[in-house]
Each structure stands twice: as structure tokens, then as C-alpha cells.
Amino acid sequence: MSEQSGIIDLGEFADGAQAFAADPYPVYDALRRRGAVHRVRTPGPGPTEELYLIVGHEASKAAFTDPRLVKSPPWGFDDALIGRHLLFADPPEHGRLRSLVSREFTARRVAGLAPRIQKITDELLDDMVPRGSADLIAALAFPLPLVVICELLGVPDIDRGRFRRMSTQVVAPTSTEEDANAIVELSDFLDELIEDKRCAAPADDLLGALIRTTAEDGDRLSAAELKAMAFLLLIAGHETTVNLIGNGVRALLSHPEQLAALRADMGLLDGAVEEMLRYDGPVETATHRFAAESFAIDGTVIPQGAPVLIGIGSADRDAQRFPEADTFDIRREPRGHLAFGHGIHFCLGAPLARIEGRTAIRSLLERCPDLAADGEPDAWLPGVLMRGVRTLRVRW
């Protein structure tokens, strides 16, 4: 481990950024043994940061609801391009924004998507299965949630390749310059999209509904808030599901006894998806929080204004909470995992991600009874926010 001035370099800990991206869990295990909070340097490529990382299930769950950790940075938030969305808002602003979105992004609307999700999945597999092998990310895991969220929001057909490039660069940047360019490009795209929506006849889609929705007191989303919300729903609404499907299939293929058990009894599917979320979930750390004041966790002082990450991946592999936490077991009782966060920032799209994950994995296993890995994954997403691979070769 490299420690200079009390800073732990996560990449050097794992003998390189690529090794850390491929398997960060031994690093997190070692950190948990030393304490709940560590001052760390995130690995490259791309921009690196020095910040405080919270590890372990108990400390992480508590941090999600600690009022001393806020989402808005003390020095202010530059919202010139995208605007302030739920992930950067604190109470009471957060409650107001979430309430306005929740009026339209309802459980009923999500549940009503199930037949359409199945149809999109079937169409993607109709195209994929005759080929005998494929990159599962490009063939299924990416297009399924992208098409679903675009149809839900009312986004017209878009260039999938272009959007994938922009979206991936935002959540897993390889450089500061490319990250900035991707945000500018997405900002321009959203401006055009919202303007088209405002001028078009009212449609029964989520974005149109958000434009029209008004609370009982007359409150509604401003133009900047609407753009920020569209950004959050479009990006977060598909990126996490891409990695839920990809990571889940990787876990099954690398644990043949678990795959066989699931094939023998699809009644295990719901629990299997929850175990996939716990064992190797799509979000490795929660988005940034900031210390509103100086305070200590487990004896480590986090100074006022310091950026803080909550280690979701570490929390869900904590043996103090999940016995034999490094074992993938689809029969496990996985309740209590933090894959979708905890507290007021619990993922708004969790029900949609679960439906998509269950549909994709069940349909894939039914259509490809001899599904197998076709080589080892090597293109891991950089950074510590998203957990997944850029490509996942499979054959059947």
C-alpha cells in the first residue's frame, strides 16, 4: 500500500489502476479491517481525486442518513450546463424536487412497462441468438435499458453509438477534457429535446408529464430543473441497469453451480437478482457528499468541506453484515444491501432496474441454454463510481 501524508492510493494498493478496476474487493476488505474511514486517492485513468472513503456496511448505512454529509458543495454548485438535480440537492430542496418527479414517475407507470420491456428484450434476442456469440453489453445489456428509458421519457430515436459514448464518458470519464466535452454535448441535446417537447402536442410520456406537472400549491419544475431532471433520468435511468445485467451474467457464468440452480428453478430469480446487486452491484461508490462541518467517524476526523464517498461495493461485501460475503449465493437472504443507496437519496429508478434485470436475465437463460463466457473481460470501467465492463463476450 502506498501512503503519503496519510493518503492511501487505491490504484497502487491493487498493483495498478487496471487491477483495482478488475477486482477492488480485496482492497476494500483490507481497508475495512483498518477502520471505517480513509483518506484516499482514486485511481486513473482520467481525473483522480483525494477524498475520504467510508467503508463497511454499518458505517456506510449511517453515512447515507448523516445530516453532516450534504450533497451540495460548500463552495456552491456550477449549474450553468446541466442544472441542479436530485443527486446534488439537500433538504428542503431535495424533497421538493423528488415530490414533483414522483408525481409522474410512479410505481404504476413503471409496472405498466413490463410487457414492453419483455417485447424489447425478445426483439434484441431475436437479433442476437442466431449469431451464436456476441458482446452481451452491446447486444442486450446496453440497448434494452436505453430503449426503455428513451420510450419512457419520450425521447425520439437517437444514435445509440453516440449516446453510449457521451453517457459512458460522463459516468466513467477517461479524462477531464473528454468528460467536459461529453457534458456540453449532452447539454445541447437536452436543450433541443425539451424545446421540441414544449412545442409539440402533449404526449403521454414522462418528460412531457414533467413539463406539465404542477403541485397542489402551484409549484412546478423550472426550465433549468427540468433539464437537470431529464439528464439524471436519462443517464442514471440506463447506465446502472447496463451494469446490473452485465455484472449479473458475469457472476452466473463464473459460478456454474449457481447458474445451474437458477436454470433448474426460475423461482429463485428475484433473489438471484438481489444477490447480483449485493455481490457485484452496478454502483461501486455513491456520488459525492461533502462535510458540512468537521466531525469524526470511527476516530478519523473529516474536515469541513472535504469530499466524501460512501463505498457501496465495500458495504455489500462486509462479512459483519453478510456471512461469507465474498461467496455468490443466489439463495442468500440479501435484504439490507445498499446497491440502490439508503435514505432520502434511495434510487428513484430501483423498481424499473429490477424489472429490466429480471426480464433480461430470465429471457437470456431461456433462449441460450448453453450460455458460456467467451474469453475474460478486460475493458473495465475506470474510476470508482460505476462497476462494470465495456464488453462482455459470450457464446452459446
Strand ranges across the sheet with 393-395: 133-135, 393-395, 372-373
- Answer for the pair 75, 66: CB distance below 8 angstroms, yes or no: no
Per-residue pLDDT of the chain (396 residues; tens, 9 = 90+): 444 458 999 988 888 888 999 999 999 999 999 999 999 999 876 667 899 999 999 999 999 999 999 998 776 655 666 777 788 899 999 999 899 888 888 888 888 999 999 999 999 999 999 999 999 999 999 999 988 988 888 887 766 677 777 777 777 666 666 666 777 888 888 888 888 887 777 777 888 888 887 777 778 888 888 888 888 888 887 889 999 999 999 999 999 999 999 999 999 999 999 999 999 999 999 999 999 999 999 999 999 999 999 999 999 999 999 999 999 999 998 789 999 999 999 998 999 999 999 999 999 999 999 999 999 887 898 889 999 999 999 999
- Answer for the pair 393, 135: CB distance below 8 angstroms, yes or no: yes
Q: How many CA atoms lie within 13 A of 280 on its CB side?
A: 27
- Answer for the pair 79, 228: CB distance below 8 angstroms, yes or no: yes
**Residue 95 zone, left/alpha/beta (φ > 0; ψ -120 to 50; rest):** alpha
Domain at 144, CATH number: 1.10.630.10
Tracing cell 446534488 back to the chain, one arrives at 88
Q: Which residue range forms the structural domain that includes residue 287?
A: 3-395
- The Cα–Cα gap between 156 and 189 comes to 12
Count the domains in the chain.
Answer: 1
